[in-house]
Structure formats: C-alpha cells, structure tokens
Amino acid sequence: MEMNSANVEAVVKQVLESMLDKKIPSQSAPAASQAIPKTAHVAMLTSLGHYDIKEFPIPEVGDGDILVKVEGCGICGTDAHEFKKDPFGLIPVALGHEGTGEIVKMGKNVKVDSAGKPLKVGDKVVTCMIFKDDPEIEMFDLNKKNVGGADVYGLLPDDDIHLNGWFSDYIFIREGSSVFNVSDLDLDSRILIEPCAVLVHAVERAKTTGILRFNSRVVVQGCGPIGLICIAVLRTLGVENIVAVDGNPQRLEFAKKMGADKSVNFMEYKGIEALSGAVKDAFGGHLADFAFQCTGSPAAHSNIYKFIRNGGGLCELGFFINGGDATINPHFDLCSKEINLVGSWVYTLRDYATTFDFLKRAQAIGLPMKELITHRFPLEEINEAHETNLAQKGLKIAIVNK
Ligand SMILES: [Zn+2]
C-alpha cells in the first residue's frame, strides 16, 4: 500500500478508534490497581532457623509511597547470619534486601527516582537505604554516607505495616526511601545489584591508594559470590592480570570463567611460604601489586600480606560482621613493606547507581554474571532455600516469585 499523507491519516484514525473501542486504560492504570490483591504474603523469620509465610493486609498507598510487586530477591550472607543467630535481635522480621520488582501503585507525589529518573507504574525498581530520621541526607546527594548503619528494607524491625522485606510478594516502600528505576536491566541482573554494589564500592576504595592500574597484578582471595564479583568488576575496569585464591576447585574454575588469569588452590600447599610461592609463580615470578581479601577468615587476613609486593596495596572487605581478631606482624607485613591498606564496608548511594552501569558493561564483555545465581526457589520454599545456602551448595541462592 502506498503511504501518502491521506492514508497515513486514515490508518492513524483507524488505530485510534480501535484503541477507544477497547477502552485502553488511562495513565492512572485502573487495570493494574484492580489486579492488586487485598493481602500480601511475607516470609517472616519467626524463630531461629525458621520462616513462616504470613498474610497481611496491603495498606493504603499514601501520596509519597510506592507499592511494588516483588519478582525476586537474593539471599545474602547477612540473611544467613540472621537465620542462624539473629545477631541484630530483629525476630520476628521480614528479611530480604537484595530484591527487585515492579511498581503496581504509587502516590501522586512520586515522580522521579533517587537519581532523578522518571518513575511510573510498571517500572522495575530496587531500593537502597531509607532516609527517615536523617534529614541531613539529601535524596539527590548520591555521594553522601555509606549505607552501613542506615535503615534498609529487609532488615527493619517489624511494625504495623509488616511489608518491610523483599522475601514477599508485595513490599511497601515508604516516602523518604531511596528507589532506583532499573527497568533497563533483566531480573537476574537486578537481583545481583546489591552484592555487586559492595564490590563497586570496594574497588573505588582500592583506587584511592593510586596503586590499582590497568596492568596491575591483582590477587583476589576468596571465590564466593563476593570474590567472583570482585573479579568481574576488575575485568570491566580493564584489569586482567588476576590470580584467584580459594580452597574449592569448583569455585576456582568459576573464577577463571569470570576472568581470573590463574588460580591457586591453597589446599595444595603446606604453609604460607609455599602458598605465597605459588601466588608468585602464578604471576610469573612477581608478587601482587594489589590484593582483595574477600573471605571472612581471620587466618586469610593474616596470610594475604605475604602475597603483596613492597609498596603494594590491600583492600580488606571480608568482614561484614565481627569475625574475630587476626594476627599480623606489623613490622614485616605493614611497615617494612609500606603496604597501603584500605577497609571497605557496604556502599554509598553513588556506588549503587554506578553498579547499574557495571552490570551492563559486564554483560557487554560477556562475563557469566547470571551463572552466579545457581539456585532459584519459590517463596514457599524459603526455609529450604536458606538450608541450601547454609550448606554452601551453590553460589547465589535466590527467591524468585512466579
Ligand atoms: Zn546483601
């Protein structure tokens, strides 16, 4: 058909008429809100080692609130600690902070996300910290304040709203929370945002030493999800001369897939001299310029100095919680080697936003990020999911809703 201006007009008219016939809902999307149930299901940790799926009414969405239908949420090391020991004294608690989902309803005052990107019903979002009780923090100041110590959905005390964690089918995001529109990332990537932000932050901390460069020799010790993502972040920065250290052959295999050049299995070496010799050999006779310590083992902290050259750097990020004391020899390990040491913990809002770009870059250069999610469980099987996580049978375990 020849498309002159007259029949373009006719086609447009036809399309518009067919739309009117079907009474396509207006922007307020009554169709979506009609689909919202009256109650939500929340996995509450009600005692040590046990979740109950509880049903709560979905509260009225206020002018600054957002109701999100949860699609999935990763299980974090922090959740494992809560599940086992409740170190934060939160029970009963709605856990799950590595979650993502779709906005199904939002108040009239909600227009943009924490980075200034427009928000609408249907957008996919993640949350970061909650600003309530801290008027010092501005929504748009992404550089300010590490999230550690701030309130986070999935680690809040229970209240009369109850829909406070991402291990649920709906979560209620209150005014004053940081929310990011991540509709341009797929579900697996969105589930990985929170742990990836930890590594984006650690690498930013490492960069402050001025040692980490394009051609640096880098050791990553510990190849759980944190160490593996560390390798991925380094790869997206162009760092390729990476040696992974772990005691598990499967994890070391994955580290190589993620882009580590060489791997060293510490189980194969007796004593720190032999082990540091193996690391040196892996770098062709050199010690590392920089090392990332990604395990929660104090002995691993003590050992890692032996892998680093004089004047090199170390980023310690393995101790999210108190894991006990580590012994070093300050003369040999720190002073005489002039080691540049940085600690890293959690992330800032800026790192969170940077992580969205990291995930796109990782995908673009073909890193197998999605393979980090080794197990997916429905919400009803959250106890099994945690048991699988504790048994260290996989890497990242996720709850994925239908
Ligand atoms: Zn986490």
- Kindly list the structural domains of the chain, giving each domain's residue range(s) and its CATH number in brackets, ordered by start: 30-184+372-400 (3.90.180.10), 196-343 (3.40.50.720)
What is the mean pLDDT of each successive set of 10 residues along the chain, which is 402 residues long? 48 50 44 76 97 98 97 94 92 96 97 93 92 49 59 91 97 92 97 96 96 96 97 97 97 97 97 97 98 97 98 96 94 98 90 94 97 97 96 92 90
Residues ≥6 apart with Cβ < 8 Å to 322: none
pLDDT at 321: 83
CB 38 within 8 A of CB 58: yes
Cis upstream peptide for 92 (omega within 30°): yes
CA of 97 to the centre of ligand 1 (A): 6
Please tell me the distance from the alpha carbon of residue 57 to that of residue 35, in angstroms, as a whole number.
15
CA of 364 to the centre of ligand 1 (A): 24
CA of 194 to the centre of ligand 1 (A): 6
Return the beta strands (E) in 65-174 as ranges: 66-74, 93-94, 98-106, 124-130, 151-152, 170-173
Could you read off the pLDDT of 230-266 as tens digits, one per residue? 999 999 999 999 999 999 999 999 999 999 999 999 9
pLDDT at 144: 55
**pTM: predicted TM-score of the whole model, two decimal places:** 0.86
CA of 250 to the centre of ligand 1 (A): 23
pLDDT at 136: 52
CA of 77 to the centre of ligand 1 (A): 6
Q: Where are the alpha helices (DSSP H) in 122-270?
A: 187-191, 193-207, 225-236, 249-257
pLDDT at 301: 98
Please tell me the distance from the alpha carbon of residue 284 to that of residue 277, in angstroms, as a whole number.
11
**Near ion ligand 1, which residues have CB within 5 Å?**
76, 194
CA of 20 to the centre of ligand 1 (A): 47
User: What is residue 193's DSSP assignment?
Assistant: H
CA of 53 to the centre of ligand 1 (A): 21
Amino acid sitting at position 188? D
Give Cα separations from 311 to 14, 334, 338 (angstroms).
73, 9, 5
CA of 95 to the centre of ligand 1 (A): 11
CA of 64 to the centre of ligand 1 (A): 26
CA of 79 to the centre of ligand 1 (A): 8
3-state secondary structure of 55: strand
CB 168 within 8 A of CB 158: no
Number of H helices, E strands in the chain: 11, 17
CA of 70 to the centre of ligand 1 (A): 17
CA of 106 to the centre of ligand 1 (A): 26
pLDDT at 82: 93
pLDDT at 393: 82
Could you read off the pLDDT of 335-384 as tens digits, one per residue? 999 999 999 998 888 888 899 999 999 999 999 999 999 999 999 999 99
Nearest CA to 228 out of 238, 237, 236, 220 is that of: 220
CB 225 within 8 A of CB 396: yes
CA of 335 to the centre of ligand 1 (A): 34
CA of 347 to the centre of ligand 1 (A): 11
357-369: burial string, b at 16+ Cβ within 10 Å, e else: ebbeebbeeebeb
